[in-house]
């Protein structure tokens, strides 16, 4: 068995094309265009690349964008004051504060300061709580993008066993909530889980979101399973790789996301999807 690749680039391109068409209709009708503000504190090279790509995505679909590039020594109070200004700015529909933040800034305080209806990352406790209550509003981008990928395959969820390995607030926990919302029977594994192999081997849908290679052995994968690899690591040769050994996983899975080109493009696409959703809510 050789798994079929799940093409995140192609699905993301379809989403961005749909957004572009809607923005063009807004432009022709003379309406205000959706706006995204991106905030970066410090000079982390990876974060700078992410912010640049997000701004390029805005240009591609026709959004207006703001970039607030702040020095490493920016205080928490100064950052919160900027967020307050962006919350009050009617031209801004979405606010994204690039993580990680410098150690002297409390991440949770910053996330909670963003207005929930402008929280296009979907990290605010209000938005996570809505997802928990089966009343989703703005949804965390990576899990939401994974659901869109699974939907594109015709995934049925109901009667299917999904295992999520990794319990972070950004991916693992909201991913479990998304799968539960869709109707799957969900197991979420973390560092205290016993017999990880058994839980992985039982999964019809496996989401590996550990952020470290070698924790999940690809040989454990259930034959024919749908495998989503969220990890972004460097292998021994310095190449980008996921949490799983791709070649071994591909020989066992039915469908699998590549790294790169799987989940990453969907995360960026769903950020713009959320921004457009926030825009519609503001207009209403």
Is 76 annotated as catalytic? no
Separation of alpha carbons 274 and 50, rounded Å: 17
Q: From the candidates 57, 93, 98, 245, which is the catalytic residue?
A: 98
Q: Are 86 and 92 in contact (CB under 8 A)?
A: yes
Q: From the candidates 121, 229, 243, 245, which is the catalytic residue?
A: 121
Angle of the 141-152 helix axis to the 8-29 helix axis, nearest 10: 110
Is 121 annotated as catalytic? yes
Is 98 annotated as catalytic? yes
Environment class of 228 (CB within 10 Å of its CB; exposed 0-12, middle 13-18, buried 19+)? buried
3-class secondary structure per residue, 154-210: CCCCCCCEEEEECCCCCCHHHHHHHHHHHCCEEEEECCCCCCHHHHHHCCCEEEECC
Separation of alpha carbons 60 and 64, rounded Å: 10
**Residues with catalytic roles:** 54, 98, 121
């Amino acid at each position: 068995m050789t798994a079929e690749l799940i093409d995140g680039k192609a699905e993301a391109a379809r989403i961005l094309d749909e957004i572009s068409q809607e923005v063009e209709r807004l432009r022709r009708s003379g309406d205000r265009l959706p706006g995204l503000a991106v905030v970066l504190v410090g000079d982390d090279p990876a974060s700078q690349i992410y912010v640049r790509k997000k701004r390029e995505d805005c240009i591609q679909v026709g959004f207006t964008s703001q970039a607030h590039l702040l020095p490493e020594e920016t205080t928490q109070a100064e950052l919160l004051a900027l967020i307050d200004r962006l919350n009050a700015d009617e031209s801004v529909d979405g606010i994204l504060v690039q993580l990680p933040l410098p150690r002297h800034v409390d991440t949770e305080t910053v996330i909670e300061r963003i207005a929930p209806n402008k929280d296009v990352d979907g990290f605010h406790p209000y938005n996570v709580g809505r997802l928990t209550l089966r009343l989703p509003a703005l949804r965390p981008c990576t899990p939401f993008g994974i659901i869109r990928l699974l939907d594109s395959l015709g995934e049925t969820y109901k009667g299917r066993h999904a295992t999520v390995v990794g319990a972070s607030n950004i991916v693992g926990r909201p991913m479990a909530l998304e799968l539960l919302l869709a109707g799957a029977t969900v197991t979420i594994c973390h560092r205290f889980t016993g017999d990880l192999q058994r839980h992985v081997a039982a999964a019809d849908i496996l989401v590996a979101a550990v952020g470290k290679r070698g924790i999940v052995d690809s040989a454990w994968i259930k034959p024919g399973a749908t495998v989503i690899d969220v990890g972004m690591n460097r292998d021994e040769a310095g190449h980008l790789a996921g949490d799983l050994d791709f070649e071994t996983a591909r020989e066992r899975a039915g469908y699998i996301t590549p790294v790169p080109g799987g989940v990453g493009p969907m995360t960026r696409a769903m950020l713009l999807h959320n921004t457009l959703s926030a825009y519609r809510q503001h207009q209403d």
